[in-house]
Amino acid sequence: MTQTVEVPIWLFVLILVFAAVTFASHFLFPSVRWFFRRRLERAVARLNTRLQRPIQPFKLAGRHDMIQRLRYDPQVSKAVQAYAQQEHVPEAVASETARRYAREIVPSFSAFAYFSFAIRMARMLSNAFYDVRLSYQDEKAINTIDPNATVVFVMNHRSNMDYVLVTYLAAQRSALSYAVGEWARVWPLSRLIRAMGAYFIRRKSGSDLYRQVLASYVRLATEAGVTQAMFPEGGLSLTGRLGRPKLGLLKYMIDATEAQDRDVVFVPVALNYDRVLEDTILTTAALGSERRFHARIGVITRWTLKQIWRRLIGRYKRFGIAAVRYGRPISLHQFREHAGRDLTTDLARELMTRIKSAVPFAPLPAVCHIVHQDGEVKEADLFQRVSAMAGLDTLQNAEQAVHDAVEQLIERNILVRDGGVLRSSGRRKDLLTYYAESAATTNSRPDAAVAE
């Protein structure tokens, strides 16, 4: 036992490495994780004192733990058995498929990434691109929502800036959990989006097992009170008009609640823009038979560099107004008492009606609507026409906003100015129609708006 044993130097180094790894994995790493976990918990506790709706423990759960919880959820287990019988595969294979779906869906929320990086980035981008306006149809109803209720922001989908804009404007209320489509499942973008608490969904999936895994995740999040955000249209509007609502996510949320459970309050959020950044891509996609967006990375890179160059040489201009209006909220408990047999369809229709009634004013779509409807308009009469259309006198710098909208339309060859008369240039009729259609749903009643 006390005799000297000679070993090669390489073997001695290997033994030291294994010993170091064992020490780190069993003693050092757990201590380090515990230390940072404790600091994170204290930071989140301080953060929750500033938020109107605190971050729920469910949102802070480890991603691995949540995947395992989904995998062994009773409803998912039944779906696994049905999948195994249907596909004639062992249950172990079906269970692994469910685990893969769960890994695809479940986020890995980071409070640090969300509040230290995402919120700052969202604020910077929103104010760099737009003059941001926020308004309410009933601010008191928003501020008096039951603090124990699950809040779901339900929004029309005009642009991918919607995510950025609403994240920024809701920063003082809570951390939002978005349902995002397959466009975002690209590394490294997917890692950042998961860290912000978003969960991925497939827009079209023929697998009952996948739908059950997704339904179970939405049910657990809704039961836990996680503040969520969704786009019922299921995708960006290609025409400027509001689309028909998809019922999937809404049904999962309704099925997750009963009359005696935690209430779910749906808050309609309507967005409108002077300029939608992807308008050319969307109008081109509208001409095809499929929703395919040919936004090549080279085009996006050139556009970004062009904006940076304009800022450097002092010729950069913002893209006008981005307006957001909170509509009147709907309590699921109260709505359930008066709804018909098809609760999901009735609720979806009511939400879209409230979103439509809340769509805020933006001057550029209003100008397009007038020109598209009349063929031409005298520029001297334009401000009065637009003011009558949307109560523009309630906004700051109203005449300047209309002037900037006209100049932007002329610069983009959508309109031409001819002897004090504005008419379509004939070159970009698709964009003229797109913005005119978006103005057709604009709420004409003046609401108090504040610049952010």
CA atoms of 340 and 343, how far apart (whole Å)? 6
pLDDT over 90 at 431, yes or no: yes
Same domain, 178 and 214: yes
Query: φ, ψ for residue 297 (rounded to 5)?
Result: -60, -30
Rounded (to 5) percent helix, strand, coil in the chain = 55, 10, 35
Model confidence at 215, pLDDT cuts 50, 70, 90, reads very high
Helix (H) or strand (E) holding 327: none
Judge whether 426 lies within some domain.
Answer: yes
Same domain, 28 and 163: no
Model confidence at 180, pLDDT cuts 50, 70, 90, reads confident
Mean pLDDT of the region 214-238: 90
Q: 289-325, pLDDT tens digit by residue?
A: 665 555 555 666 777 777 778 778 887 788 999 999 9
Of 226, 199, 169, 208, which is closest to residue 107 (Cα–Cα)?
199
The residue segments making up the domain with residue 285 are: 278-315
> What CATH number corresponds to the domain at position 197?
3.40.1130.10
Token pair in block for residue 293 = 């967006």
Same domain, 197 and 290: no
Same domain, 272 and 408: no
Same domain, 220 and 331: yes
- Report pLDDT for 19: 74
- Report pLDDT for 444: 45
- Report pLDDT for 408: 92
- Report pLDDT for 354: 95
Judge whether 153 lies within some domain.
Answer: yes
Mean pLDDT of the region 348-375: 92
Residue 246: DSSP 8-state: P
Helix (H, G, I), strand (E, B) or coil at 415: strand
Q: 80-124, pLDDT tens digit by residue?
A: 999 999 999 999 999 999 999 999 888 888 777 787 788 888 888
Same domain, 258 and 173: yes
- Report pLDDT for 442: 63
> What CATH number corresponds to the domain at position 384?
1.10.10
Same domain, 130 and 269: yes
CA atoms of 388 and 429, how far apart (whole Å)? 25
Same domain, 250 and 286: no
Cβ–Cβ < 8 Å for 256, 313: no
Q: Mean of the per-residue pLDDT values for the chain?
A: 82
Token pair in block for residue 107 = 């986020």
Structural domains counted in the chain: 4
| CA trace torsion 293, 217, 63, 105 (10° rounding) | -20
CA atoms of 323 and 335, how far apart (whole Å)? 28
Judge whether 66 lies within some domain.
Answer: no
Judge whether 81 lies within some domain.
Answer: no
Same domain, 153 and 203: yes
Q: Which amino acid is at 44?
A: V
Judge whether 9 lies within some domain.
Answer: no
Q: 26-54, pLDDT tens digit by residue?
A: 655 555 555 555 655 565 566 556 666 77
Distances (CA, A) of 287 to 164, 239, 280, 294: 27, 10, 11, 13
Query: φ, ψ for residue 4 (rounded to 5)?
Result: -80, 135
Same domain, 124 and 268: yes
Judge whether 272 lies within some domain.
Answer: yes
pLDDT over 80 at 425, yes or no: yes
Judge whether 60 lies within some domain.
Answer: no
Residues in the chain: 452
Same domain, 345 and 299: no
CA atoms of 361 and 324, how far apart (whole Å)? 9
Q: Which residue has the higher pLDDT, 368 or 261?
A: 368
pLDDT over 80 at 429, yes or no: yes
Model confidence at 335, pLDDT cuts 50, 70, 90, reads very high
Judge whether 82 lies within some domain.
Answer: no
Same domain, 349 and 297: no
Q: Residues 323, 329, 334, CA angle at the centre, nearest 5°? A: 165
